[in-house]
Structure 1
Amino acid sequence: MAHFGIGVSTAVTAVPDTLKLAVQADRGGLDLITVSDHPYYPDRLDAYAELGVLLGKTERVSGLVSVTNLPTRPAAMLARTITSLSALTGGRIVLGMGVGGLWDDIARLGFTKLTPGQAVRAFEEGIRLVKLLGGGGDPVSFDGEFYQVTELVPAEETMPPVWTGSVGPKSLAVTGRVADGWMPGRAADWLSERYRTSRPVIDEAAVAAGRDPGEIATVYNFPGRITAEPLAQTRAEDGRWIGGSSAQWVEELTGAVLEHGAAGFVLFGPDRSTPDEVAAARWAGEIVPAVREAVAK
């Protein structure tokens, strides 16, 4: 069953519209609301504070930080945040994890700058540790290069699926070894060169780790216009999706699920903007139900 979501703003100035959009997504039957995580910008909301409020104002939709800036959120504390949100919302949470990219900004917050190699190793350790800290069981001791915990009792709450935003080959391999889902970077889709070269790295690493690659979902951040009338071309010359009418979106997304194994889509407006109320209504009311129906057939 594919997941359908919508990306909402983290701008402080957009709070009233963001709250409205989250409630609209929930009432419209969407599966996910997602927020980005850039805690070093003062004009942006803290991702988990925002998500907690959005989930508190909704009843069915799940929340995802796409993706958590791991270097600024130590893994054991992140695990507690996630299991707490899960307990508070009846499990309406997915854990998105990222290596961290804007290291000058991360350093300004007082966190140690890591080399690319260190960052990927910390990323893998972080995912492994987080997964140990949910679902009950014996106390956990973990003596890693970057994370150490001693006799830490896991939360009883089950840890939700972990989706990554891996981009480079080493972090893609981490996704194959330890994650449950992948959201391709730069809003790349199933027809992109990024997908064609990246997904095999995930699959090979999964097989090498004794895992079934088919169990690692690919969920796409998918920007575009939803137009009243069909467009003559739904993709640009470089192959990137532009958008089109609701019927054109339905055809595209149904094909992505049935022919390319897509496991979900998060709607953004053009250039990764926040969708407006009209686009959100067409997405939830026209496109998503039609894709669900077509896939079910």
Structure 2
Amino acid sequence: MPPTVPPTVRFGLNVDPHAAGLPVAERIARIADDAGLDLVGVQDHPYLADHLDTFAVLAWLAGRTRSVRLFPNVANLPLRPPAMLAKQAATIDVLSGGRFELGLGAGAFTDAIVGMGGPRRARGAARAALSEAVDVIRASWAGRGYAHQGEHYALPGVRPGPRPAHDIGVWLGVLGPRSVRLVGAKADGWSVSSSYVAPARLTELNAAITGAAEEAGRDPAALVRLYNVAGRITDGGPDGAREGVPADEPGAVQGPPRLWVDVLSALHAERGMNAFVFWPDGDRERQSRRFAEEVVPELRARLADEG
């Protein structure tokens, strides 16, 4: 039996929705499923010509896995109207037997979004639209007819359904100190990447999330705080590799499994992160297997000992 790990610590793998890479995507998802990992995330960039539709890929993977949870990391809100997004999420949740979570972002790469007919929103407007979309999505999942008239979305008469198979979590992919407050105020989790946010910034941003949750009368400890960690698992000693793990700037981790265990353990204990999704650099399938089989078991054992 694997050691018991606090239920708030989760581990997962990234899958890319490349049209030419479906066999690899399926094998990586199965690695996560077979190894007992918690999550498989799929990025959502609809404007990229070589990317399949992320929600179709998630539904496809749901039929090829048994227990791992699936989520868009994160869904592009400007190109996905929230009421329809809620239906898509609920549908995959039903099809997967309650294994879907909704990562949601305000939308980067504005020119590409506009090129596909999406809105051009300034930062404040994008944040407001994201907040409003969370309300629309939750109203849709409640299963009762409703109307919504907001600054960014007007829905005069929604007949929502189906109901999700479980209470889907809404995890926001946001970066700024004002935007992360939305996580604490009304979402269920946060998804952020090491390539955009350095470890040193996590403390400040987590504090903003916790403060907003407490102000809203919500339990901060119940929130998912997910760090997408890019890098490569290598062989050899940890000393040289450790020099390549700066705390004060975005970047990738590179080193042997023991270094990865040290880094992720510190991110959990010192920075407050409680979920980790691995984005491998290089041979994605082999690297994903190493993370699942060499890093996660050791990390789970350490967390169990420390817990």
Give the match's secondary structure for 1:97.
strand
The alpha carbon displacement at 1:276 in A equals 2.4
Partner of 1:277 in structure 2? Answer: 285
The alpha carbon displacement at 1:148 in A equals 2.6
Percent identical across equivalent pairs? Answer: 33
Q: Deviations over 1:87-125 (max 9, x none)?
A: 000111110010111111111111221222211111000
Partner of 1:144 in structure 2? Answer: 150
Partner of 1:291 in structure 2? Answer: 299
| Residue among 237, 250, 266 paired with 1:255 | 266
Q: Which amino acid aligns with 2:49?
A: P
Cα pair 2:76 2:106 within 8 Å, conserved: yes
Aligned 1:132-211 pairs, distance under 5 A: 132-136=139-143, 138-149=144-155, 150-157=157-164, 158-187=166-195, 192-211=199-218
Cα pair 1:182 1:216 within 8 Å, conserved: yes
The alpha carbon displacement at 1:159 in A equals 3.9
Alignment partners' CA distance in 2, 1:62 and 1:254:
22
Alignment partners' CA distance in 2, 1:234 and 1:33:
27
Comparing 173-182 with 226-235, greater Cα deviation is found at 226-235
Partner of 2:78 in structure 1? Answer: 71
Q: 2:35 aligned with 1:49, yes or no?
A: no
Alignment partners' CA distance in 2, 1:96 and 1:64:
6
Q: Deviations over 1:127-178 (max 9, x none)?
A: 1111222254x32222211223325345332441111111123321222211
Comparing 254-263 with 165-174, greater Cα deviation is found at 254-263
Partner of 2:31 in structure 1? Answer: 24
Q: 2:236 aligned with 1:225, yes or no?
A: no
Comparing 114-123 with 177-186, greater Cα deviation is found at 177-186
Give the match's secondary structure for 2:22.
helix
RMSD in angstroms over aligned alpha carbons? Answer: 2.1
Compute the TM-score of the two structures, normalised by the length of structure 1: 0.90
Q: 2:93 aligned with 1:86, yes or no?
A: yes
Cα pair 1:69 1:98 within 8 Å, conserved: yes
Alignment partners' CA distance in 2, 1:259 and 1:237:
15
Cα pair 1:235 1:243 within 8 Å, conserved: no
Alignment partners' CA distance in 1, 2:224 and 2:124:
25
The alpha carbon displacement at 1:13 in A equals 2.0
Cα pair 1:7 1:34 within 8 Å, conserved: yes
Judged with a 3 Å threshold, the aligned counterparts in structure 2 of structure 1 residues 209 and 100 are, in CA distance, closer, same or farther, namely same
Judged with a 3 Å threshold, the aligned counterparts in structure 2 of structure 1 residues 281 and 249 are, in CA distance, closer, same or farther, namely same
Which residues of structure 1 form unaligned runs of 5+? none
Cα pair 1:180 1:217 within 8 Å, conserved: yes
| Residue among 125, 136, 140 paired with 1:129 | 136
Cα pair 1:141 1:152 within 8 Å, conserved: no
Q: Deviations over 1:249-282 (max 9, x none)?
A: 2233233334443211101123xx6x52322222
Partner of 2:277 in structure 1? Answer: 266
Which residues of structure 2 form unaligned runs of 5+? 1-6
Alignment partners' CA distance in 1, 2:176 and 2:265:
28
Q: Which amino acid aligns with 1:8?
A: V
Q: Which amino acid aligns with 2:272?
A: G
Alignment partners' CA distance in 1, 2:93 and 2:201:
33
Judged with a 3 Å threshold, the aligned counterparts in structure 2 of structure 1 residues 49 and 295 are, in CA distance, closer, same or farther, namely same
Comparing 67-76 with 150-159, greater Cα deviation is found at 150-159
Q: Which amino acid aligns with 2:35?
A: G
